[in-house]
């Protein structure tokens, strides 16, 4: 459950106009749609029922049962939405953003939302969701095989976008090496340290092959322990986040959806 303090809850309730059971200007339908879009949760699920089951009470129950990073994501989206309405209290908005920052700092994987599909491919979307679900269910060890597949598909999609040769039998860490060379050639890396960190990721991704094949659900294996699984998730998500920032700067826009790529590989 999220560890919102009494004061934080009261201030959020004021910002979101939760008196009388309401939440901002949402109807039951738009409230449900907004939450599904923001955090992929169904606020009509029985686990969010509380007292009168008003929108406000369901949101209070959501705060009670969901983890910090999920509550942070929804709160951030709601604060952004609230600022589009008429004259929100600036002090309350600032307070709410501090609450979001605190909750985010306690997330098990800080950059989890970097795991997003970048091609118009339903399997890529389902894959990304399953990778995120493993963390949201606090079971990182159970998502390692899908995280590995996501990384392979992601790097190959990025390489394809930039015209780099991606053969199906080419190891994903080799493709990552080609991408790093591309970044250097294009002058997109401003420090030698950044380049060295990225190059170290090549051997890290290569080592991920062993984890995927021998310590994940890809085969009949004994799973890697929780702490090391979480470390792998954090490293991979941070690397993906950095690549997203590079691609955004390269395109001078938010990361775009690329064209569909090959089917998800079973081995890399």
**Residue among 75, 71, 112, 82 at smallest CA distance from 97:** 75
Q: How far apart are CA 75 and CA 97, in angstroms?
A: 8
At 249 the pLDDT is: 85
Q: How far apart are CA 260 and CA 115, in angstroms?
A: 17
At 261 the pLDDT is: 43
**Residue among 16, 47, 52, 46 at smallest CA distance from 31:** 16
At 42 the pLDDT is: 95
SS3 13: helix
At 203 the pLDDT is: 93
SS3 263: coil
Phi/psi of residue 112, each to 5°? Answer: -60, -35
**Residue among 1, 139, 138, 136 at smallest CA distance from 68:** 1
> Cα(first)–Cα(last) distance of the chain, in Å?
37
Question: 117-154: buried (b, 16+ CB within 10 Å) or exposed (e) per residue?
Answer: bbbebeebeebbebbbebbbeeebbbbbbbbbbbbbbb
Q: How far apart are CA 233 and CA 238, in angstroms?
A: 8
SS3 40: coil
At 259 the pLDDT is: 46
pLDDT in tens, the chain (268 residues): 678 999 999 999 999 999 999 999 999 999 999 999 998 899 999 999 999 999 999 999 999 999 888 899 999 999 999 999 988 999 999 999 999 999 887 778 878 889 999 988 889 999 999 999 898 777 899 999 999 999 999 999 999 999 998 877 889 899 999 999 999 999 999 999 999 999 999 999 999 999 999 999 999 999 999 889 999 999 999 999 999 999 988 877 444 444 444 444 444 4
- 223 Cα distance to chain centroid: 23
- 172 Cα distance to chain centroid: 21
Given the structure tokens 């201030």, which residue do they identify?
11
- Answer whether 71's CB lies under 8 Å from 62's CB: yes
At 255 the pLDDT is: 44
At 167 the pLDDT is: 79
Q: Which residues pair with 119 in a beta bridge?
A: 258
At 59 the pLDDT is: 97
Q: Which residues pair with 108 in a beta bridge?
A: none
């Amino acid at each position: 459950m999220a560890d919102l303090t009494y004061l934080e809850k009261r201030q959020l309730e004021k910002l979101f106009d939760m008196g009388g059971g309401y939440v901002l200007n949402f109807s039951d339908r738009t409230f449900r749609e907004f939450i599904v879009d923001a955090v992929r949760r169904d606020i009509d699920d029985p686990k969010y029922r509380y007292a009168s089951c008003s929108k406000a009470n369901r949101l209070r129950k959501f705060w009670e049962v969901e983890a910090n990073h999920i509550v942070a994501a929804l709160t951030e989206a709601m604060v952004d939405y609230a600022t589009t309405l008429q004259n929100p209290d600036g002090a309350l908005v600032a307070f709410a953003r501090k609450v979001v920052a605190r909750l985010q700092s306690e997330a098990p994987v800080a950059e989890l939302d970097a795991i997003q599909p970048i091609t118009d491919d339903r399997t890529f979307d389902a894959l990304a969701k399953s990778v995120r679900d493993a963390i949201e269910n606090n079971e990182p060890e159970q998502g390692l095989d899908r995280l590995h597949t996501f990384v392979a598909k992601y790097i190959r999609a990025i390489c394809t976008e930039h015209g780099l040769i991606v053969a199906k039998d080419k190891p994903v860490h080799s493709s990552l090496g080609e991408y790093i060379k591309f970044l250097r050639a294009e002058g997109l890396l401003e420090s030698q340290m950044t380049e060295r960190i990225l190059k170290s990721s090549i051997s890290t991704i290569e080592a991920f092959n062993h984890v995927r094949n021998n310590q994940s659900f890809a085969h009949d294996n004994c799973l890697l322990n929780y702490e090391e699984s979480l470390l792998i998730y954090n490293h991979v998500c941070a690397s993906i986040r950095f690549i997203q920032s590079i691609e955004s700067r390269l395109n001078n826009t938010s990361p775009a959806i690329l064209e569909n790529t090959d089917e998800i590989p079973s081995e890399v």
